């Protein structure tokens, strides 16, 4: 017989995983749209002429995947969730489900209005960083973290707090450049692809300074 989940953590995480799965699946609609071209072209030529759609799909896929990885890490040390936390988590899921929209806009307007399209995409990143920071900060400040992991978990607060500043700067740069923000977002992907390793490295540095 399965043990009843009295903390709400498992149900919240399962629901969240489902939302992430749906959001990442919806991204493929951007690629399907390329097949409905009004021009009479061969399939190969149609695919090559819509390269920006494949680029946007790749970026969108990595975005949601990285978000899911970080969401999983944020939940790893939770011992329970409360009603307020569910609403905060819901805000993150709301932003994640919006990701296919700026992705589609980036694919459609990359060549004609690239700065605006990239800014819309960048604002989505900014909202995600706010949501991630709020989840970790609330969990830490409201006794939702296992006591033995609180010091380590505080590193996540620091990481996501700086992520807000980073994504805000990248978002503002979207209005004046395309290349620079894309480079910044690529760095963001790399840094947050393994958040636990990054947090562990920072945690070891903190411990070394205390000695």
CA distances to 26, 107, 174, 198 from 51, rounded to whole Å, are 18, 9, 21, 33
Rounded to two decimals, the pTM is 0.83
Report phi then psi at 51, rounded to 5: -60, -30
**Digitized pLDDT (tens) for each residue of the chain, 211 residues in all:** 344 455 688 899 999 999 999 998 888 877 776 666 666 666 677 666 667 778 778 888 888 999 999 999 989 889 889 999 999 999 999 999 998 888 888 877 877 888 998 999 899 999 999 999 999 999 999 989 988 889 899 999 899 999 999 999 999 999 999 899 989 998 998 989 998 888 888 888 888 887 7
Report phi then psi at 130, rounded to 5: -65, -45
pLDDT of residue 35: 63
pLDDT of residue 147: 86
Q: How many CA atoms within 13 Å lie on the side-chain side of 142?
A: 14
């Amino acid at each position: 017989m399965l043990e009843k989940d009295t903390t709400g953590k498992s149900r919240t995480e399962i629901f969240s995983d489902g939302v992430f799965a749906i959001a990442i699946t919806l991204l493929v609609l951007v690629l399907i749209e390329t097949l409905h071209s009004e021009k009479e072209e061969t399939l190969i030529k149609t695919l090559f002429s819509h390269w920006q759609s494949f680029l946007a799909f790749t970026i969108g896929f990595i975005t949601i995947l990285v978000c899911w990885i970080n969401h999983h890490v944020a939940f790893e040390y939770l011992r329970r969730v409360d009603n307020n936390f569910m609403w905060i988590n819901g805000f993150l899921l709301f932003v994640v489900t919006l990701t296919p929209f700026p992705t589609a806009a980036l694919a459609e307007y990359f060549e004609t209005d690239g700065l605006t399209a990239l800014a819309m995409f960048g604002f989505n990143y900014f909202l995600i960083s706010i949501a991630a920071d709020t989840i970790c900060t609330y969990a830490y400040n409201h006794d939702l973290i296992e006591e033995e992991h609180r010091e380590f978990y505080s590193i996540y607060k620091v990481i996501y707090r700086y992520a807000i500043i980073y994504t805000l700067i990248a978002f503002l740069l979207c209005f004046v450049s395309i290349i620079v923000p894309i480079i910044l977002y690529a760095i963001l992907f790399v840094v947050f692809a393994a958040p636990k390793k990054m947090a562990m490295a920072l945690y070891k540095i903190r411990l070394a300074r205390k000695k």
